[in-house]
Amino acid sequence: MAQSLLELLQAACPATLPMHMPGHKRNIEMAPYLKTLAAHLDITEIKGFDHLHAAQGVLREAMEQAAAVFGANHSFFLVNGSTVGLLSAIRAVTAPGDSVLMARNCHKSVYNALALNNLRPHFIYPQTNLRYQINASMSLEDIQRAIARHREARVLIITSPTYEGVLSDLGAIIALAHRHGLTVLVDEAHGPHLGLSPHFPRGALSAGADIVIHSLHKTLPSLTQTALAHVRTPALANEMQRQLAIFETTSPSFLLLASIDGCVRLLRDRGEELFAAWAEALEAFHQKALGLRHLRVLGYGKERGLQLDNVYGLEPSKIYISTINTHISGYELAELLRGGHATEPEMITPQGVLAMTGMGDTVDSLGRLGDALLEIDSRLSPASAVKLPLMAPRVQSKVPIATAERAPFISLPLEQSEGYVMAETIVVYPPGIPVVVPGEVMNGQAISYLLAARQARNTILRTRSDVDGQVAVLRDA
Protein backbone atom coordinates (compact mmCIF):
# COMPACT_ATOMS: atom_id res chain seq x y z
CA MET A 1 0.00 0.00 0.00
CA ALA A 2 1.27 3.47 -0.86
CA GLN A 3 0.10 5.28 2.25
CA SER A 4 1.06 4.20 5.73
CA LEU A 5 -1.59 3.46 8.35
CA LEU A 6 -0.59 6.66 10.13
CA GLU A 7 -1.12 8.71 6.96
CA LEU A 8 -4.52 7.10 6.45
CA LEU A 9 -5.49 7.92 10.03
CA GLN A 10 -4.34 11.51 9.67
CA ALA A 11 -6.42 11.92 6.52
CA ALA A 12 -9.60 10.18 7.66
CA CYS A 13 -9.99 11.19 11.28
CA PRO A 14 -10.69 14.94 10.83
CA ALA A 15 -13.10 14.27 7.95
CA THR A 16 -15.60 11.93 9.60
CA LEU A 17 -18.11 12.28 12.43
CA PRO A 18 -17.32 9.39 14.83
CA MET A 19 -20.63 7.78 15.72
CA HIS A 20 -18.68 4.76 16.90
CA MET A 21 -16.26 3.77 19.64
CA PRO A 22 -14.10 4.88 21.43
CA GLY A 23 -16.03 7.09 23.80
CA HIS A 24 -13.65 10.04 23.79
CA LYS A 25 -14.90 10.70 20.22
CA ARG A 26 -11.48 12.13 19.33
CA ASN A 27 -12.34 15.17 21.45
CA ILE A 28 -8.83 15.97 22.64
CA GLU A 29 -9.94 19.25 24.19
CA MET A 30 -11.90 17.30 26.80
CA ALA A 31 -8.79 16.35 28.80
CA PRO A 32 -5.05 17.04 28.47
CA TYR A 33 -4.13 13.37 28.55
CA LEU A 34 -6.16 12.68 25.40
CA LYS A 35 -4.14 15.23 23.46
CA THR A 36 -0.85 13.90 24.78
CA LEU A 37 -1.83 10.34 23.85
CA ALA A 38 -2.88 11.26 20.28
CA ALA A 39 -6.53 10.34 20.85
CA HIS A 40 -7.44 12.40 17.78
CA LEU A 41 -6.15 9.42 15.75
CA ASP A 42 -7.64 6.69 17.92
CA ILE A 43 -10.30 4.72 16.04
CA THR A 44 -11.90 1.32 16.02
CA GLU A 45 -12.27 -1.05 13.05
CA ILE A 46 -14.35 1.12 10.72
CA LYS A 47 -14.86 1.11 6.97
CA GLY A 48 -11.62 1.73 5.11
CA PHE A 49 -9.41 0.46 7.91
CA ASP A 50 -9.87 -3.31 7.65
CA HIS A 51 -10.38 -5.91 10.39
CA LEU A 52 -7.34 -7.38 12.11
CA HIS A 53 -8.78 -10.89 12.41
CA ALA A 54 -10.17 -11.02 8.87
CA ALA A 55 -7.78 -8.70 7.05
CA GLN A 56 -8.52 -8.16 3.37
CA GLY A 57 -7.47 -4.55 2.82
CA VAL A 58 -4.86 -2.20 4.26
CA LEU A 59 -3.97 -4.45 7.20
CA ARG A 60 -3.49 -7.46 4.95
CA GLU A 61 -1.19 -5.42 2.71
CA ALA A 62 0.71 -4.15 5.74
CA MET A 63 1.22 -7.67 7.08
CA GLU A 64 2.37 -8.90 3.68
CA GLN A 65 4.89 -6.09 3.67
CA ALA A 66 6.11 -7.15 7.12
CA ALA A 67 6.57 -10.71 5.86
CA ALA A 68 8.67 -9.41 2.97
CA VAL A 69 10.88 -7.27 5.24
CA PHE A 70 11.45 -10.02 7.81
CA GLY A 71 11.81 -12.84 5.29
CA ALA A 72 8.75 -14.76 6.46
CA ASN A 73 6.07 -16.57 4.50
CA HIS A 74 3.21 -15.17 6.60
CA SER A 75 3.27 -12.47 9.29
CA PHE A 76 0.65 -11.26 11.76
CA PHE A 77 0.45 -7.94 13.61
CA LEU A 78 0.10 -8.41 17.39
CA VAL A 79 -1.22 -5.68 19.68
CA ASN A 80 -1.23 -7.76 22.87
CA GLY A 81 2.52 -8.25 22.85
CA SER A 82 4.43 -11.46 22.27
CA THR A 83 2.26 -13.06 24.94
CA VAL A 84 -0.75 -13.34 22.62
CA GLY A 85 1.49 -14.71 19.89
CA LEU A 86 2.83 -17.45 22.14
CA LEU A 87 -0.59 -18.40 23.51
CA SER A 88 -2.05 -18.58 20.02
CA ALA A 89 0.91 -20.37 18.47
CA ILE A 90 1.01 -23.11 21.09
CA ARG A 91 -2.71 -23.77 20.75
CA ALA A 92 -2.33 -23.77 16.96
CA VAL A 93 0.17 -26.62 16.97
CA THR A 94 -1.12 -28.81 19.81
CA ALA A 95 -4.20 -30.70 20.93
CA PRO A 96 -5.29 -31.12 24.58
CA GLY A 97 -3.15 -33.69 26.34
CA ASP A 98 -0.24 -33.48 23.90
CA SER A 99 3.35 -33.77 25.05
CA VAL A 100 5.66 -30.89 24.25
CA LEU A 101 9.40 -30.46 24.62
CA MET A 102 10.34 -27.04 25.90
CA ALA A 103 13.23 -25.08 27.31
CA ARG A 104 12.81 -24.50 31.03
CA ASN A 105 13.71 -20.83 30.60
CA CYS A 106 10.63 -20.02 28.52
CA HIS A 107 8.51 -16.99 29.34
CA LYS A 108 5.58 -17.37 31.73
CA SER A 109 3.09 -17.06 28.87
CA VAL A 110 4.32 -20.41 27.57
CA TYR A 111 3.53 -21.96 30.95
CA ASN A 112 0.09 -20.37 30.86
CA ALA A 113 -0.45 -22.02 27.47
CA LEU A 114 0.49 -25.39 28.99
CA ALA A 115 -2.20 -25.05 31.62
CA LEU A 116 -4.85 -23.67 29.26
CA ASN A 117 -4.35 -26.53 26.81
CA ASN A 118 -3.71 -29.29 29.35
CA LEU A 119 -0.33 -30.05 27.79
CA ARG A 120 2.32 -32.33 29.24
CA PRO A 121 5.67 -30.54 29.22
CA HIS A 122 9.04 -32.25 29.22
CA PHE A 123 11.55 -29.62 30.25
CA ILE A 124 15.01 -29.25 28.78
CA TYR A 125 17.21 -27.07 30.94
CA PRO A 126 19.61 -24.73 29.19
CA GLN A 127 23.28 -25.11 29.94
CA THR A 128 24.92 -22.70 32.37
CA ASN A 129 27.90 -20.43 32.16
CA LEU A 130 29.59 -20.08 35.54
CA ARG A 131 31.85 -17.19 34.52
CA TYR A 132 28.74 -15.01 34.36
CA GLN A 133 26.35 -17.28 36.30
CA ILE A 134 23.70 -17.09 33.58
CA ASN A 135 21.68 -19.46 31.46
CA ALA A 136 23.75 -20.41 28.43
CA SER A 137 22.79 -22.06 25.14
CA MET A 138 20.53 -25.04 24.63
CA SER A 139 22.56 -28.21 24.10
CA LEU A 140 21.87 -30.10 20.89
CA GLU A 141 22.70 -33.32 22.70
CA ASP A 142 20.21 -32.58 25.50
CA ILE A 143 17.50 -31.91 22.94
CA GLN A 144 18.37 -35.10 21.09
CA ARG A 145 18.09 -37.10 24.33
CA ALA A 146 14.74 -35.48 25.12
CA ILE A 147 13.41 -36.36 21.68
CA ALA A 148 14.52 -39.98 22.13
CA ARG A 149 12.87 -40.21 25.57
CA HIS A 150 9.61 -38.57 24.53
CA ARG A 151 8.84 -39.76 21.02
CA GLU A 152 5.19 -38.86 21.53
CA ALA A 153 6.03 -35.13 21.69
CA ARG A 154 4.74 -33.03 18.80
CA VAL A 155 6.33 -29.64 19.42
CA LEU A 156 9.65 -28.12 20.51
CA ILE A 157 9.53 -24.67 22.12
CA ILE A 158 12.75 -22.76 22.76
CA THR A 159 13.85 -19.23 23.62
CA SER A 160 16.70 -17.65 21.68
CA PRO A 161 18.18 -15.16 22.35
CA THR A 162 17.94 -15.11 26.12
CA TYR A 163 17.50 -11.90 28.07
CA GLU A 164 21.29 -11.63 28.29
CA GLY A 165 21.69 -12.12 24.54
CA VAL A 166 22.85 -15.75 24.52
CA LEU A 167 22.04 -17.57 21.27
CA SER A 168 21.52 -21.26 20.64
CA ASP A 169 22.46 -23.10 17.45
CA LEU A 170 19.01 -22.80 15.93
CA GLY A 171 20.03 -24.18 12.54
CA ALA A 172 21.18 -27.49 14.00
CA ILE A 173 18.39 -27.66 16.59
CA ILE A 174 15.60 -27.01 14.09
CA ALA A 175 17.05 -29.45 11.54
CA LEU A 176 17.20 -32.14 14.25
CA ALA A 177 13.63 -31.46 15.37
CA HIS A 178 12.28 -31.51 11.83
CA ARG A 179 13.97 -34.86 11.13
CA HIS A 180 11.88 -36.26 13.98
CA GLY A 181 8.65 -34.65 12.83
CA LEU A 182 8.51 -31.93 15.48
CA THR A 183 7.05 -28.49 14.87
CA VAL A 184 9.46 -25.83 16.16
CA LEU A 185 8.29 -22.65 17.85
CA VAL A 186 10.98 -20.08 18.69
CA ASP A 187 10.33 -17.31 21.18
CA GLU A 188 12.59 -14.71 19.60
CA ALA A 189 10.90 -11.85 21.42
CA HIS A 190 14.27 -10.35 22.29
CA GLY A 191 15.63 -10.68 18.77
CA PRO A 192 13.33 -8.96 16.26
CA HIS A 193 16.42 -7.26 14.83
CA LEU A 194 18.25 -10.52 14.12
CA GLY A 195 18.75 -11.45 10.50
CA LEU A 196 17.96 -7.95 9.23
CA SER A 197 21.51 -6.63 9.00
CA PRO A 198 25.08 -7.93 8.66
CA HIS A 199 25.79 -6.11 11.93
CA PHE A 200 23.70 -8.70 13.82
CA PRO A 201 23.55 -12.52 13.74
CA ARG A 202 21.01 -14.54 11.78
CA GLY A 203 17.71 -15.34 13.42
CA ALA A 204 15.13 -18.10 13.73
CA LEU A 205 13.35 -17.40 10.44
CA SER A 206 16.38 -18.12 8.29
CA ALA A 207 17.08 -21.18 10.45
CA GLY A 208 13.73 -22.69 9.36
CA ALA A 209 11.55 -22.33 12.46
CA ASP A 210 7.86 -23.07 11.92
CA ILE A 211 6.65 -20.20 14.10
CA VAL A 212 8.69 -17.22 15.32
CA ILE A 213 7.44 -14.61 17.76
CA HIS A 214 9.00 -11.13 17.78
CA SER A 215 8.50 -8.30 20.27
CA LEU A 216 9.10 -5.29 18.07
CA HIS A 217 9.11 -2.92 21.01
CA LYS A 218 11.99 -4.60 22.81
CA THR A 219 14.75 -3.43 20.47
CA LEU A 220 13.13 -1.78 17.44
CA PRO A 221 11.38 1.62 17.13
CA SER A 222 7.80 0.64 17.90
CA LEU A 223 5.44 1.30 20.79
CA THR A 224 5.26 -0.96 23.82
CA GLN A 225 2.90 -3.92 23.33
CA THR A 226 3.60 -4.26 19.59
CA ALA A 227 4.81 -7.57 18.23
CA LEU A 228 4.81 -9.88 15.22
CA ALA A 229 4.14 -13.57 14.66
CA HIS A 230 5.66 -15.29 11.62
CA VAL A 231 4.63 -18.73 10.34
CA ARG A 232 6.10 -21.00 7.69
CA THR A 233 3.16 -22.62 5.88
CA PRO A 234 -0.29 -21.57 4.63
CA ALA A 235 -2.02 -24.25 6.71
CA LEU A 236 -0.27 -23.05 9.83
CA ALA A 237 -1.10 -19.45 8.96
CA ASN A 238 -4.80 -20.34 8.75
CA GLU A 239 -4.75 -22.01 12.15
CA MET A 240 -2.69 -19.19 13.66
CA GLN A 241 -5.27 -16.69 12.44
CA ARG A 242 -8.04 -18.73 14.05
CA GLN A 243 -6.25 -18.83 17.38
CA LEU A 244 -5.37 -15.15 17.34
CA ALA A 245 -9.08 -14.40 16.94
CA ILE A 246 -9.59 -16.25 20.24
CA PHE A 247 -6.78 -14.78 22.32
CA GLU A 248 -6.22 -11.31 20.89
CA THR A 249 -8.44 -8.30 21.53
CA THR A 250 -11.36 -7.73 19.17
CA SER A 251 -10.79 -3.97 19.55
CA PRO A 252 -7.22 -3.50 18.34
CA SER A 253 -5.66 -0.08 18.78
CA PHE A 254 -4.97 1.48 15.39
CA LEU A 255 -2.31 3.58 17.06
CA LEU A 256 -0.47 0.37 17.90
CA LEU A 257 -1.14 -1.06 14.43
CA ALA A 258 0.17 2.17 12.89
CA SER A 259 3.27 1.84 15.04
CA ILE A 260 3.93 -1.68 13.72
CA ASP A 261 3.36 -0.55 10.15
CA GLY A 262 5.59 2.48 10.67
CA CYS A 263 8.37 0.34 12.14
CA VAL A 264 8.23 -2.10 9.22
CA ARG A 265 8.37 0.78 6.71
CA LEU A 266 11.28 2.36 8.55
CA LEU A 267 13.22 -0.92 8.40
CA ARG A 268 12.40 -1.26 4.71
CA ASP A 269 13.38 2.29 3.79
CA ARG A 270 16.22 3.13 6.20
CA GLY A 271 17.19 -0.15 7.80
CA GLU A 272 20.74 -0.26 6.47
CA GLU A 273 21.47 3.25 7.70
CA LEU A 274 19.87 2.77 11.12
CA PHE A 275 21.47 -0.60 11.80
CA ALA A 276 24.85 0.86 10.93
CA ALA A 277 24.29 3.73 13.38
CA TRP A 278 23.26 1.28 16.11
CA ALA A 279 26.37 -0.81 15.47
CA GLU A 280 28.51 2.34 15.65
CA ALA A 281 26.97 3.19 19.04
CA LEU A 282 27.67 -0.33 20.34
CA GLU A 283 31.27 -0.06 19.14
CA ALA A 284 31.62 3.24 21.00
CA PHE A 285 30.46 1.49 24.16
CA HIS A 286 32.97 -1.32 23.52
CA GLN A 287 35.82 1.18 23.38
CA LYS A 288 34.75 2.60 26.74
CA ALA A 289 34.39 -0.88 28.25
CA LEU A 290 38.02 -1.67 27.43
CA GLY A 291 38.93 0.58 30.37
CA LEU A 292 37.02 -1.41 32.99
CA ARG A 293 39.19 -3.07 35.63
CA HIS A 294 36.68 -4.85 37.87
CA LEU A 295 33.34 -4.98 36.13
CA ARG A 296 33.01 -7.44 33.25
CA VAL A 297 30.69 -6.94 30.29
CA LEU A 298 29.51 -9.99 28.37
CA GLY A 299 30.96 -9.78 24.86
CA TYR A 300 32.40 -6.27 25.34
CA GLY A 301 35.64 -4.65 26.43
CA LYS A 302 38.28 -7.17 27.42
CA GLU A 303 35.64 -9.90 27.25
CA ARG A 304 35.16 -9.56 23.48
CA GLY A 305 36.21 -12.68 21.62
CA LEU A 306 36.51 -14.73 24.81
CA GLN A 307 35.45 -18.34 24.42
CA LEU A 308 32.68 -18.90 26.94
CA ASP A 309 31.68 -22.32 28.22
CA ASN A 310 28.34 -23.56 26.85
CA VAL A 311 27.70 -20.37 24.87
CA TYR A 312 27.07 -20.98 21.17
CA GLY A 313 26.96 -17.27 20.35
CA LEU A 314 25.99 -13.80 21.53
CA GLU A 315 23.92 -11.08 19.95
CA PRO A 316 25.39 -7.64 20.62
CA SER A 317 22.34 -5.54 21.52
CA LYS A 318 22.37 -6.77 25.14
CA ILE A 319 24.91 -5.30 27.55
CA TYR A 320 25.19 -7.57 30.58
CA ILE A 321 27.48 -6.20 33.29
CA SER A 322 28.81 -8.71 35.82
CA THR A 323 29.72 -7.74 39.39
CA ILE A 324 31.02 -11.20 40.30
CA ASN A 325 34.65 -10.02 40.50
CA THR A 326 33.79 -6.99 42.64
CA HIS A 327 32.83 -6.30 46.24
CA ILE A 328 29.30 -5.19 45.22
CA SER A 329 26.23 -7.03 43.94
CA GLY A 330 24.15 -6.38 40.89
CA TYR A 331 21.58 -4.71 43.12
CA GLU A 332 24.18 -2.26 44.42
CA LEU A 333 25.43 -1.54 40.90
CA ALA A 334 21.87 -0.73 39.84
CA GLU A 335 21.51 1.75 42.70
CA LEU A 336 24.81 3.41 41.77
CA LEU A 337 23.62 3.78 38.17
CA ARG A 338 20.31 5.23 39.32
CA GLY A 339 21.58 7.49 42.05
CA GLY A 340 24.72 8.92 40.54
CA HIS A 341 24.10 8.66 36.80
CA ALA A 342 20.32 8.87 36.26
CA THR A 343 20.43 5.54 34.44
CA GLU A 344 17.72 2.91 34.79
CA PRO A 345 18.75 -0.65 33.84
CA GLU A 346 16.46 -3.28 32.38
CA MET A 347 17.16 -6.22 34.69
CA ILE A 348 18.98 -6.70 37.96
CA THR A 349 20.25 -9.99 39.40
CA PRO A 350 22.47 -10.69 42.41
CA GLN A 351 25.41 -11.14 40.05
CA GLY A 352 24.90 -8.39 37.50
CA VAL A 353 22.85 -5.82 35.63
CA LEU A 354 21.42 -5.90 32.12
CA ALA A 355 21.35 -2.76 30.02
CA MET A 356 19.13 -3.16 26.97
CA THR A 357 20.04 -1.25 23.86
CA GLY A 358 17.83 -0.55 20.87
CA MET A 359 17.81 1.06 17.47
CA GLY A 360 17.07 4.38 19.17
CA ASP A 361 20.39 4.39 21.00
CA THR A 362 23.20 6.64 19.84
CA VAL A 363 26.93 7.03 20.27
CA ASP A 364 26.09 9.63 22.92
CA SER A 365 23.64 7.49 24.91
CA LEU A 366 25.86 4.40 24.99
CA GLY A 367 28.89 6.59 25.60
CA ARG A 368 27.12 7.94 28.69
CA LEU A 369 26.52 4.38 29.88
CA GLY A 370 30.19 3.57 29.31
CA ASP A 371 31.31 6.69 31.21
CA ALA A 372 28.98 5.82 34.11
CA LEU A 373 30.43 2.31 34.36
CA LEU A 374 33.98 3.62 34.19
CA GLU A 375 33.32 6.07 37.03
CA ILE A 376 31.71 3.39 39.17
CA ASP A 377 34.45 0.88 38.29
CA SER A 378 37.13 3.33 39.47
CA ARG A 379 35.66 3.14 42.99
CA LEU A 380 35.33 -0.64 43.14
CA SER A 381 37.63 -3.17 44.73
CA PRO A 382 38.02 -6.87 43.92
CA ALA A 383 35.73 -9.38 45.60
CA SER A 384 37.14 -10.38 48.98
CA ALA A 385 35.92 -13.94 48.57
CA VAL A 386 34.64 -16.21 45.86
CA LYS A 387 30.90 -15.57 45.43
CA LEU A 388 28.73 -18.64 45.48
CA PRO A 389 26.67 -19.08 42.31
CA LEU A 390 23.04 -18.00 42.64
CA MET A 391 21.54 -19.43 39.49
CA ALA A 392 17.91 -19.86 38.53
CA PRO A 393 16.93 -23.06 40.36
CA ARG A 394 16.20 -26.49 38.99
CA VAL A 395 13.07 -28.10 40.39
CA GLN A 396 11.28 -31.38 39.83
CA SER A 397 7.68 -31.87 38.67
CA LYS A 398 5.39 -34.19 40.63
CA VAL A 399 1.84 -33.30 39.50
CA PRO A 400 0.63 -32.16 36.04
CA ILE A 401 0.34 -28.38 35.78
CA ALA A 402 -3.32 -28.40 34.74
CA THR A 403 -4.18 -30.62 37.73
CA ALA A 404 -2.13 -28.73 40.29
CA GLU A 405 -3.37 -25.28 39.37
CA ARG A 406 -6.98 -26.26 40.13
CA ALA A 407 -6.40 -28.43 43.21
CA PRO A 408 -7.19 -27.40 46.82
CA PHE A 409 -4.32 -25.45 48.37
CA ILE A 410 -3.07 -23.84 51.54
CA SER A 411 -0.67 -20.91 52.05
CA LEU A 412 2.64 -21.19 53.85
CA PRO A 413 5.53 -18.79 54.50
CA LEU A 414 8.04 -19.13 51.68
CA GLU A 415 10.76 -20.16 54.13
CA GLN A 416 8.66 -23.14 55.29
CA SER A 417 7.61 -24.41 51.85
CA GLU A 418 10.52 -26.72 51.02
CA GLY A 419 9.29 -30.14 49.90
CA TYR A 420 5.74 -28.99 49.17
CA VAL A 421 4.12 -29.25 45.75
CA MET A 422 3.34 -25.82 44.35
CA ALA A 423 -0.21 -24.74 43.56
CA GLU A 424 0.79 -21.51 41.83
CA THR A 425 3.29 -19.98 39.45
CA ILE A 426 5.92 -17.69 40.93
CA VAL A 427 7.68 -15.39 38.49
CA VAL A 428 10.48 -12.91 39.08
CA TYR A 429 10.34 -9.84 36.81
CA PRO A 430 12.46 -9.32 34.92
CA PRO A 431 13.04 -11.65 33.10
CA GLY A 432 9.55 -13.12 33.47
CA ILE A 433 10.67 -16.75 33.61
CA PRO A 434 8.81 -18.87 36.21
CA VAL A 435 10.93 -19.99 39.14
CA VAL A 436 8.34 -22.65 40.02
CA VAL A 437 5.03 -23.61 38.41
CA PRO A 438 2.06 -25.63 39.69
CA GLY A 439 2.93 -29.28 40.27
CA GLU A 440 6.63 -28.67 40.92
CA VAL A 441 8.28 -29.35 44.27
CA MET A 442 9.72 -26.32 46.05
CA ASN A 443 13.35 -26.85 47.07
CA GLY A 444 15.99 -24.95 49.00
CA GLN A 445 17.63 -23.54 45.88
CA ALA A 446 14.35 -22.01 44.72
CA ILE A 447 13.66 -20.56 48.18
CA SER A 448 17.10 -18.92 48.29
CA TYR A 449 16.61 -17.48 44.82
CA LEU A 450 13.21 -16.00 45.70
CA LEU A 451 14.45 -14.59 49.01
CA ALA A 452 17.32 -12.87 47.20
CA ALA A 453 14.89 -11.43 44.65
CA ARG A 454 12.62 -10.20 47.45
CA GLN A 455 15.52 -8.58 49.26
CA ALA A 456 16.45 -6.78 46.05
CA ARG A 457 12.85 -5.52 45.72
CA ASN A 458 12.44 -7.19 42.35
CA THR A 459 8.86 -7.72 41.25
CA ILE A 460 7.64 -11.17 42.28
CA LEU A 461 4.35 -12.23 40.72
CA ARG A 462 2.27 -14.99 42.27
CA THR A 463 -0.89 -16.37 40.76
CA ARG A 464 -2.69 -17.49 43.93
CA SER A 465 -1.33 -16.45 47.29
CA ASP A 466 -2.23 -12.94 48.27
CA VAL A 467 -0.34 -12.69 51.56
CA ASP A 468 3.09 -11.13 51.23
CA GLY A 469 5.84 -13.64 51.88
CA GLN A 470 3.56 -16.67 51.56
CA VAL A 471 3.15 -19.18 48.76
CA ALA A 472 0.33 -21.51 47.74
CA VAL A 473 1.03 -25.23 47.98
CA LEU A 474 -1.15 -28.28 47.40
CA ARG A 475 -3.09 -29.28 50.46
CA ASP A 476 -3.03 -33.01 49.78
CA ALA A 477 0.29 -33.65 48.04
List pLDDT tens digits, range 426-439.
988 777 788 999 99
Cα distance between residue 238 and residue 234, in whole Å: 6
SS3 353: strand
Give the 3-state secondary structure percentages of the chain, helix then strand then coil, rounded to 5. 40, 20, 45
| DSSP H or E run through 321 | strand 318-322
Q: What is the pLDDT, as a whole number, of residue 458?
A: 74
Cα distance between residue 160 and residue 185, in whole Å: 10
The domain 396-474: what is its CATH number?
A: 3.90.100.10
One-letter amino acid for residue 418 of the chain: E
Question: Residue 434 pairs with which residues in a beta bridge?
Answer: 427
Q: What is the pLDDT, as a whole number, of residue 476?
A: 80
Reported as a single tens digit per residue, the pLDDT across 359-394 is: 999 999 999 999 999 999 999 999 987 776 667 788
- Quickly state the pLDDT bin for 53 (edges 50, 70, 90): very high
Helix axes 363-377, 254-289, angle to 10 degrees: 50
- Quickly state the pLDDT bin for 45 (edges 50, 70, 90): confident
Reported as a single tens digit per residue, the pLDDT across 442-454 is: 999 999 888 887 8
One-letter amino acid for residue 30 of the chain: M
More confident position, 119 or 469: 119
Instruction: Taking the CA atoms of 306, 310, 316 and 317 in sequence, report the sign of the dihedral they define.
Output: negative
Percent of the chain with pLDDT over 70: 98
Once rounded to an integer, what is the mean pLDDT over residues 161-173?
97
Q: Please check the confidence at residue 46 and state whether its pLDDT lies above 90.
A: no
Cα distance between residue 459 and residue 51, in whole Å: 36
What's the predicted TM-score (pTM) here? Answer: 0.93
- Quickly state the pLDDT bin for 354 (edges 50, 70, 90): very high
Cα distance between residue 100 and residue 455, in whole Å: 35
Q: What is the pLDDT, as a whole number, of residue 402?
A: 84
Candidates 120, 123, 158; CA nearest to 138 is 158
| Phi, psi (rounded to 5 degrees) for 122 | -120, 110
- CATH number of 53-267: 3.40.605.10, 3.40.640.10, 3.40.1080.10, 1.20.950.20? 3.40.640.10
More confident position, 50 or 387: 50
Bond preceding residue 431 cis, omega within 30 of 0: yes
Once rounded to an integer, what is the mean pLDDT over residues 445-468?
81
Q: Where are the domains of the chain?
A: 1-49, 53-267, 271-377, 396-474
How does 29-43 read in b/e, with b if 16+ C-beta sit within 10 Å?
Answer: eeeeebeeeebbbbb
Q: What is the pLDDT, as a whole number, of residue 1?
A: 65
Once rounded to an integer, what is the mean pLDDT over residues 222-249?
97
| Phi, psi (rounded to 5 degrees) for 320 | -100, 120
Beta-strand ranges (E) seen in 150-258 are 155-159, 166-167, 183-187, 211-214, 227-231
Architecture of domain 271-377: Alpha-Beta Complex (3.90)
For every residue of 73-108, DSSP letters joined together read SEEEEESSHHHHHHHHHHHHT--TT-EEEEETT--H
